Structure 1
């Protein structure tokens, strides 16, 4: 499941701000995983993890599913580069789409029909996760549940540069306008590339950290 070269996301479950780090798998051996020294997503600085640090680890598998497990630091070693040794459990838990962390956002998103069922339009994304997103639905737009469309939106990459993602998505829910709430549409990302999902996961973690630092949960 885990392979050398994969990117892991580490969450320090004991830190006050539940800091988020990124690292690479350097080696695997007899129930252990060796990782490169992690980088703090907020500061972009290398982090030194002491023994017994408890971590929540997630990664994107080759099957395009997200997996998670709990682990702890048990030592250090050298595998061509200095590495940190973590316990690797026998079984890993696949994160269901409904369990993906969803964060509120205010991003512009464009909708395109694959079958000329509606004219392209732009609206506001309300929240996003690695599995999909919700957006405001404009009046008089002919969207149908289960239809697959194309969406396009911008998020920052690791270096803060603008990254435009153009992705297939499936409409799973349409909520009608009420006196209190505007109409909205919920979508799942459909058969997207692992690299694109990894970029979304990275953005969601960063956004989650920003909200926590502002005291918003």
Structure 2
């Protein structure tokens, strides 16, 4: 894929500095023929580890997949606007979205029928989330007969991801339309994987930022290896 077709103003990019094992969530602020101008979404501390001449790996997400690229830092500054300038990558390589953006976390969610706005909401426990979707667990006793439970059925999802100490002090609110992509039934619980099919791009960006902030917190606490894959495996 031509990098210039995706890496345009407003596109979210996650930069990784392998040497320092640091990640930085940015947004493309502008582009020239040979370089990209990225503004940090998580404050002024991040750009300080991205020094000129440093090799970086970047990830950019579309609604259907994530692309990876390699580049080199040309400039960086923390003030007045936290900015990193990198060389325009030569190419983008598709990678598995779940590998980089899904994290396991418990949160409260509400599921509603997309087709019947009068139908009651069903309480669920979120067990993982990414910018592409989420996994939930529902007590089967709370389900009513008409509630969508089959693969391919659309559902409305509302949830709030917990604050991340030191980075995101307020809950991250998520509201989207999703499609059920897998279902596992247990004696008491129903487990479902839901892929987002209609979501505000800004909400998707907030999920990306939240996932990486949450992973950084786990790293600081020593609860996550920097190279651990946090993708949830289907039961």
TM-score range, shorter chain: 0.7 to 0.9
Q: Which residue of 1 aligns with 2:16?
A: 11
How big is each residue's C-alpha offset from its partner over 1:161-192, in whole Å with a ceiling of 9 and x where there is no partner? 234222101001111216xx943111101121
How big is each residue's C-alpha offset from its partner over 1:46-96, in whole Å with a ceiling of 9 and x where there is no partner? 5333223222222345x775433121213469xxx8964422222223444
Cα distance in 2 for residues equivalent to 1:101 and 1:76: 25
Is the partner of 1:3 in helix, strand or coil? coil
Cα RMSD for the two superposed structures: 3.1
Q: Which residue of 1 aligns with 2:108?
A: 108
Bigger helix share? 2
CA spacing shift, 1:109–1:192, aligned 2, 3 Å: same
Q: After TM superposition, list the pairs within 5 Å mapping 1:14-93 onto structure 2.
A: 14-15=19-20, 18-36=21-39, 38=40, 41=42, 45=45, 47-48=47-48, 49-60=50-61, 66-75=66-75, 84-93=84-93
Q: 2:170 aligns with which of 140, 146, 161?
A: 161
Q: Which residue of 2 aligns with 1:212?
A: 219
How many corresponding residue pairs?
206
Answer yes or no: is the 8 Å Cα contact 2:47–2:76 preserved in 1.
no
Cα distance in 1 for residues equivalent to 2:198 and 2:127: 22
> How many Å apart are 1:118 and its aligned residue?
6.0
Structure 2 residue runs without a partner (length 5+): 1-5, 225-235
Q: Which residue of 1 aligns with 2:229?
A: none
Is the partner of 1:151 in helix, strand or coil? strand
Q: What's the TM-score, normalizing by structure 1?
A: 0.78
How big is each residue's C-alpha offset from its partner over 1:13-48, in whole Å with a ceiling of 9 and x where there is no partner? 111xx2222344344233322334x46x4x753533
Q: Which residue of 1 aligns with 2:127?
A: 126
Cα distance in 2 for residues equivalent to 1:82 and 1:214: 25
1:198 lines up with 2:197 in the alignment: no
Is the partner of 1:47 in helix, strand or coil? helix
Cα distance in 2 for residues equivalent to 1:114 and 1:107: 21
Cα distance in 1 for residues equivalent to 2:129 and 2:82: 36
Answer yes or no: is the 8 Å Cα contact 1:109–1:124 preserved in 2.
yes
